[in-house]
Amino acid sequence: MTILQAIILAIIEGITEFLPVSSTGHIILGATIMGIKSNNFVKLFTVAIQLGTILSVLVLYYKRFLKSFDFYFKLLVAFIPAVVFGLLFNKKIDQLLESPLGVAIALLLGGIILLFVDKWFKNGTIDQTDEITYPTAIKIGFFQCISMVPGTSRSAASIVGGMAQKLTRKAAAEFSFFLAVPTMFGATAKKLYDFYKEGHSIAHDEINLLLVGNLVGFLVAMLAIKTFIGYLSKHGFKVFGYYRIIVGSIILLLYLTGHSLEII
């Protein structure tokens, strides 16, 4: 992987991580187009650059994270289902990551759902994340677990889960951002632990790639979050639904025409 390729993947990660379009599906497509070969470091890189996007949430919403300890407990409760399901089905999830057909189908089905989400859940009454109860938090956490199927999108699953619990689009999106912090940090820590446990090490040039990737991911995610919240509040999810259907169709077409789509 070159510096330029690392920057491009980080841009893709920064834009798509908090949008309901599946960062996994986009990274697959981006890496395939650039001809990046999968190896242990590349697999680590695509997860570890999430630290930069996590930092963007902490910076943009730092006041919210300093507001009360009750907020942290609610995030912890919402995070628990991901921990349980992640540990139970870790190997199965890795197998799913090797299925480009599965990613394409998840993108398409998720896109169709997003076309109707605004109609299904148009009467949200909870407009502030402070109003979220513990039962609501854990229900959103279970919805987030759906995103363990590659191509589903963590943000899409958790936002739809929030709207199903009477959150407005804005409140559901913001809680999804907050929930990303423990979820993505946990996933990165687990990936780093497995990487070193298997006896791998990071070379000096690879450290530089990780630093550049996280910096670019941080800056891009800052812009993506601000833009997404404003757009979502005014226009809803339909455009993201159409976009997912297009991307899913592209991946499906590449797969059916015999192109190599190695999941990284």
| pLDDT tens readout for residues 102-149 | 788 889 999 999 999 988 988 888 888 888 999 999 999 999 988 888
More reliable by pLDDT, 122 or 167: 167
Q: Evaluate if residue 86 carries a pLDDT over 90.
A: no
* Residue 216 main-chain phi, psi, to 5 deg: -65, -45
Highest mean pLDDT among 29-33, 56-60, 231-235: 56-60
| pTM, to two decimals | 0.84
Q: How confident is the model at residue 93 (pLDDT cuts 50, 70, 90)?
A: low
Cα–Cα distance for residue pair 148/131, rounded to 1 Å: 27
Cα dist. 234→48, 97, 124, 168, 201 in Å? Answer: 33, 34, 14, 12, 47
Contact 184, 57 (CB under 8 A): no
Contact 212, 13 (CB under 8 A): no
pLDDT digits (tens, 9 = 90+) for 197-228: 888 888 888 899 999 999 999 999 999 998 88
DSSP state for residue 132 in the 8-state scheme: -
Q: Evaluate if residue 264 carries a pLDDT over 50.
A: no
Q: Is the dihedral of CA 108, 111, 117, 119 positive or negative?
A: negative
Res 99: pLDDT: 63
In DSSP notation, 40-61 reads: HHHHHHHHHTHHHHHHHHHHHT
Contact 126, 163 (CB under 8 A): no
pLDDT digits (tens, 9 = 90+) for 2-30: 999 999 999 999 998 888 888 877 887 78
Q: Which residues pair with 64 in a beta bridge?
A: none
Res 189: pLDDT: 87
Cα–Cα distance for residue pair 230/98, rounded to 1 Å: 35
Q: How many other β-carbons are positioned within 10 Å of the β-carbon of residue 198?
A: 8
Cα–Cα distance for residue pair 25/17, rounded to 1 Å: 11
Res 149: pLDDT: 81
Average pLDDT rounded to a whole number, residues 147-171 = 88
